[in-house]
Structure 1
Amino acid sequence: MPAFPREEMEAMVARWLEANRRCEERGDWRPLADLYTEDATYGWNIGPDQDFMAVGRAEIRDLALGAEMGGLDGWTYPYQRILIDEGNGEVVGFWKQVADAVRPDGTPYEVPGIGGSWFRYAGDGRWSWQRDWFDLGNVTAVFVEMMKAGVLSDGMRRRLDRAAAGRPIPGYYRRGESPVPLW
């Protein structure tokens, strides 16, 4: 694993955070794909039997940042803490998932627990891979609560309908069968 100058990695993290802020404002995360290498991978676990994996910048743009983030326009993912390991070229960021919809008491719908991203830096201002984690049970509970309250976005309803249709979804693989392992 290559080592990188601390200043270079700090500059990459600052660039990433600013790009995230702009994408949140637009409700479109696809421009973040420009911050990955052409052959980068991006994945996460979806429970005991399923993983998601996007292979290559195009799939990261279309699947991970497009289809999977579809319906989450208006949501923010404020980073709470970022750890940089310049010796291994890795970054870990801990974030929250906060909806733009609010409960009757005025508090935002927010996924409880800890979410995060683990990145490998490739140099030249790009990530070579990213792995996310989040509590699927808490995510599901918040979506169900929002559905019952009638505050799910149209995009999120379409996304949930897609998941419930029973057809294969691009990027989803049975555990252990993704083209690139999570680990």
Structure 2
Amino acid sequence: MPARRAPSIAPPNQSYPRAELEAMVEKWLEANIASEREGDWSKHLSEMYTEDAIYSWNIGPEQEFVANGRKEIHDVAIGYQMKGFEGWEYPYHDIIIDEKRGTVIGFWRQVSPVKRKDGSFIAIEGIGGSWFEYGGNYQWKWQRDFFDMGNAKDTFFQLAGAGALSPIVKEKIHRMAKGEMLPGHRKLHPDLTLWEKTRNAFAIVKIAIAGK
């Protein structure tokens, strides 16, 4: 059965009272802080999704993560996927509420508990965010995360070099390096052939060297 894709960018039609959406955001932020404090996101966040909610994010040009329904969100999106990130913080910097469309966009950072020699925390640079559609009853209908994959990879290189990756994160990286699909991961399209990969690589090298 084909996997359900990320939510459409078509604007939702359902509007809600501004006060209700503001209250939802406050509940969400409080639940996130409790999750970070206890290192357990499933416990505090899973009930804040509708039964048929979709949670997704992109994993580069070849893969997408999609969790269909509250159970998959509980078990995989904020369960398995968050294992090994206990101690990380995801502070929100700004939140935009659109009560006419029933949507919310929150901008956040991803900060590890590991410090550099200068005392700063290793973090995924840039800004990430979540795009939500509200489903009523203080629950999200869908959530779409976005962040800089290049910066995320660089952060994992830094943590690996510092010997600060948890065993379960190492296991996930090892499985992906072997070509395994982690729970919730979906292919966006068929894999390129070796010929296509080689052609593309030579084409970009030619452009870099010769400018054409």
Aligned residues: 177
Match of residue 66, structure 1, among 79, 85, 93: 79
Letter in 2 for 1:124: N
Write the mapping of 1:55-134 to structure 2, written as runs, cut at 5 A: 55-134=68-147
CA contact (8 A) 1:70 1:159 kept: no
Match of residue 148, structure 1, among 144, 151, 161: 161
1:51: which partner in 2? 64
CA contact (8 A) 2:172 2:182 kept: no
Shift, 1:153, TM fit: 2.2
CA contact (8 A) 1:95 1:114 kept: yes
Match of residue 49, structure 2, among 22, 36, 42: 36
Q: Percent identity?
A: 49
The 1-side partners of 2:177 and 2:139 are apart by 35
For the pair 1:23 / 2:41, whether they are aligned, the reply is: no
- Name structure 2 gaps, 5 residues minimum: 1-12, 191-212
CA contact (8 A) 1:71 1:159 kept: no
**Stretch moving more, 124-133 or 62-71:** 62-71
The 2-side partners of 1:106 and 1:79 are apart by 22
Letter in 2 for 1:81: D
The 2-side partners of 1:76 and 1:172 are apart by 24
For the pair 1:159 / 2:169, whether they are aligned, the reply is: no
Cα deviation per residue 1:54-113 (whole Å; 9 max; x = unaligned)? 000000011110111111110000000000000000000000000011111111011111
After TM superposition, the score normalised by the length of structure 1 is 0.93
Bigger RCO (CA 8 Å, 6+ sep): 1
After TM superposition, the score normalised by the length of structure 2 is 0.80
For the pair 1:171 / 2:184, whether they are aligned, the reply is: yes
Shift, 1:159, TM fit: 2.5
